[in-house]
Amino acid sequence: MDGNIFEKILGQDCLFVDRRAFDHAFEPTRLPHRGHEVESLVRNLVDALNGHIPSNMLLYGVPGSGKTVVTRFVLGQLLDKGEEMGQSVETYEINCRNVDTKYRVVQTIASKLGRRGDTPIPFTGWPTDRVLEELISRMDRAGGVHIIVLDEIDNLVSRAGDGLLYNLTSLNTSLRNSRCCIIGISNDLNFTQQLDPRVTSRLSQEDLVFHPYGAPEIQDILSERVNTGLREDVIEEGVLELCSALAAQEHGDARRALDLLRISVQKAEQRSQKTVDRRHVRLAQSQLEYDQVTPVLKTLPLHQKLLVLAIKLNEDNGMRNISTGETYRTYSDACMKISVEALTPRRISSLLNELDTLGIIMARNVSKGRGGRSKQVNSAIPKGVDAISIMGESEPLIAEAALGRYNLQSQL
Ligand X SMILES: Nc1ncnc2c1ncn2[C@@H]1O[C@H](COP(=O)(O)OP(=O)(O)OP(=O)(O)O)[C@@H](O)[C@H]1O
Residue 61 binds: one of Mg ion, ligand X, none (C-beta under 5 to 8 A by kind): ligand X
| Coil/strand/helix, residue 293 | helix
Question: Which CB atom, from 68 or from 178, has the smaller least distance to ligand X?
Answer: 68
CA distance 39 to 52: 18
DSSP calls for 214-227:
PHHHHHHHHHHHHH
Binding segment for ligand X (CB under 6 A), chosen from 20-28, 128-136, 189-197, 387-395, is: 20-28
Tell the smallest beta-carbon distance from residue 149 to Mg ion (Å).
Answer: 10
The SS3 assignment for 116 reads coil
List strand residue ranges (DSSP E) for 159-265, in order: 178-186, 206-210
Is residue 64 near ligand X by the rule CB under 6 A?
yes
> Given candidates 44, 56, 65, 68, which one binds Mg ion under the rule CB under 5 A?
68
Shortest distance (Å) from residue 71 CB to Mg ion = 8
Of 56-64, 136-144, 236-244, 388-396, the window that binds ligand X (rule: CB under 6 A) is 56-64
CA atoms within 13 A on the CB side of 274: 2
300, burial (CB in 10 Å: exposed 0-12, middle 13-18, buried 19+): buried
Residue among 105 and 258 whose Cβ is closer to ligand X = 258
- Asked if 186 touches Mg ion (CB under 5 A), the answer is no
CB of 152 to Mg ion, least distance (A): 6
Residues 149-208 that bind ligand X (CB under 6 A): 187
Instruction: Give the shortest CB-238-to-ligand X separation in angstroms.
Output: 21
Residue nearest to Mg ion (CB): 68
Distance (Å, rounded) from C-alpha 244 to C-alpha 260? 9
Binding segment for ligand X (CB under 6 A), chosen from 11-19, 21-29, 318-326, 336-344, is 21-29
- Which window, 62-70, 89-97, 256-264, 352-360, contacts Mg ion (CB under 5 A)? 62-70
End-to-end CA distance of the chain: 61
Three-state secondary structure call for residue 59: strand
Identify which of residues 68 and 332 has a Cβ nearer to Mg ion in the complex. Answer: 68
DSSP β-bridge partners for residue 277: none
Pick one of ligand X, Mg ion, none as the site partner of residue 255 (Cβ within 5 to 8 A by kind).
Answer: ligand X
Residue number, 71 or 379, with CB nearest to Mg ion:
71
Q: Which residues contact 252 (CB under 8 A, 6 or more apart)?
A: 62, 64, 65, 211, 212, 213, 214, 217, 218
Beta bridge partner(s), residue 185? 59
Using the rule CB under 6 A, is 65 a contact of ligand X? yes
Binding range to Mg ion, per CB under 5 A, among 64-72, 103-111, 215-223, 319-327: 64-72
The Cα 124–Cα 359 span in angstroms is 37
Q: How far is the CB of 181 from ligand X (least distance, A)?
A: 19
Report the distance separating Cα 320 and Cα 112, nearest Å: 56
Q: Which of residues 240-299 bind ligand X (CB under 6 A)?
A: 254-255, 258
The item of ligand X, Mg ion, none sharing an interface with residue 34, based on CB under 5 to 8 Å by kind, is ligand X
Q: In sequence order, which residues have a C-beta less than 8 Å from that of residue 179 and are 6 or more positions away?
A: 52, 53, 144, 145, 146, 172
Residues that contact Mg ion, how many (by CB under 5 A): 1
Order of all β-strands in the sheet with 322-323: 322-323, 373-379, 361-367
* Contacted entry of ligand X, Mg ion, none for residue 258, CB cut-off 5 to 8 Å set by kind: ligand X
Buried b (16+ CB within 10 A) or exposed e, 176-190: eebbbbbbbbbbbee
Q: Which does 246 bind (CB under 5 to 8 A by kind): ligand X, Mg ion, none?
A: none
Binding footprint of Mg ion on the chain (CB under 5 A):
68
Binding site for ligand X (CB under 6 A): 24, 26, 28, 31-34, 61, 63-69, 187, 221, 254-255, 258
